[in-house]
Structure 1
Amino acid sequence: MNPPITTIAVAGLPRSRAGAAVAMAASGRQVGSALGVALVGALIAADAENAAWWVIVGCGAVVLLLAIPSTGARAAASAARLSPPYRSCTRSTRP
């Protein structure tokens, strides 16, 4: 999950701003994870285990719904268009 988010964060930005974009994406993931753990923990502590499970199921459904457009033909075309500038960053420098 992390490489696609990082690629999206830096796509279209100049290299001088790529670090800031990656930092924002990483911070967003951390804040989202912390809020999710806090919400589910609070629901479990309040004896609302069923509600906690529905929150988890709902979040999973949202991820699946967001995966549909992000893996379609339009996303593949966008990835092909954006990947050439980043291929030099991912190549190994080993002989």
Structure 2
Amino acid sequence: MNATIEFLNATNEFNNATNESLSYDEHLTLPEQIFYLVNGSLGSIFNVIVLFIALLHADTYDKPRQVNSMVRFAILITWLFLRANFVAVSTFYG
């Protein structure tokens, strides 16, 4: 019986600590939200374009390197946009 009471007390202490940590709000600022939405959208668009090109034009049985090259190019372009936006946002908002 004592073990059960000790377990319940420990559970209540854990729940109280968890509830206190949940009360801390961490929100993204508007520029951060825009940054992540724009870059996520660009990455998605580039990957859809690559997938579309690969499905229409690449012969995956003979030339899997073509698909690999297109995917790498899309990743490179996405990365360049990410870096350019990161520099612009960090410069503007210091």
Please classify the TM superposition score into its range, dividing by the shorter chain length: 0.3 to 0.5
Q: Which one has the largest radius of gyration?
A: 2
TM-score, L = length of structure 1: 0.41
